[in-house]
Structure 1
Amino acid sequence: MPTHAQLDERARALHRLAAARVRAEPALFERVRANLARWQRDAAPQVQPYVSEWQALADQGLPACLAMAEEDSPHADALRQASPFAGVLSNAERLAFLKDWRARQGDAAR
């Protein structure tokens, strides 16, 4: 079973992949904004502080939002628990990443 630190590392790596995808296709940033708009309406109260912080980053622009998505810090790890980057990667991209991640974790355990 992966440790919490490994899960944070996986989320950070997945967000680096999503950030690269958004850099290659900046129109995907609209999906991030759409997620935030929906979550401002529908998310549970305990998630709203994260939504508000992501919204403030998105309002600063793409570079600020992507920087936080990729940042290696406990605060960024916490924010990624409520990530508006859902849907930026296709299911195939996400599943390929997860398969590769599991394989690499298995190699690391040997």
Structure 2
Amino acid sequence: MESTHRRVEEWSIRYHQLVAEKLKAQPERVLAKARANLARLRRQHPNSEPYMARWQALLEGPLDELLNVMVSPGEDARALRQCTPFAGVVPPRERSAAFREFAREWRRSRAAR
């Protein structure tokens, strides 16, 4: 089971690295999408408000801080990524291709053990 959790977490970081690339290239577009998603998430998940408030602060703060938290392996960042406001930022085909590559890398790394 630990392996499954680790794989999910590593994919989450990889996805957020893709989002970070989009954010650097088109900050206003990505931030607008994230803010709209965050507003929807707040309505749908009122019990997650502490995470939503943290995302709100990050979206309104310095870009470097947001980028660092998005890809941090730390426990706080891991918890935040579980309710990410960045859904839809990476186009489906690009996300699928990235996931397939991630899955190949994951299988190779496990086979090498």
Q: Same fold (TM over 0.5)?
A: yes
Q: Aligned-pair RMSD on alpha carbons?
A: 1.6
Match of 1:49 in 2: 50
Separation in 2, partners of 1:51, 1:60: 14
Matches within 5 A, 1:32-43: 32-40=34-42, 42-43=43-44
Separation in 1, partners of 2:25, 2:44: 29
C-alpha contact 1:36 1:51 (8 A) present in aligned 2: yes
What percentage of aligned pairs have identical amino acids?
Answer: 34
1:6 aligns with 2:7: yes
Separation in 2, partners of 1:12, 1:66: 11
Q: Letter of the 2:76 partner, please give it.
A: H
SS in 2 for 1:36: helix
SS in 2 for 1:72: coil
How many residues matched? 109
Matches within 5 A, 1:13-92: 13-26=14-27, 27-40=29-42, 42-92=43-93
SS in 2 for 1:82: coil
Deviations 1:5-61 (A, max 9, x none): 221111111101110111012222210111112222x12232222111100111214
* Consecutive unaligned residues in structure 1, runs of 5 or more: none
Q: Letter of the 1:54 partner, please give it.
A: W
* Consecutive unaligned residues in structure 2, runs of 5 or more: none
SS in 2 for 1:94: helix
Separation in 1, partners of 2:62, 2:109: 37
Q: Letter of the 1:37 partner, please give it.
A: A
* Divergent runs of 4+, >6 A: none
Question: Could you tell me the TM-score, scaled by structure 2's length?
Answer: 0.86
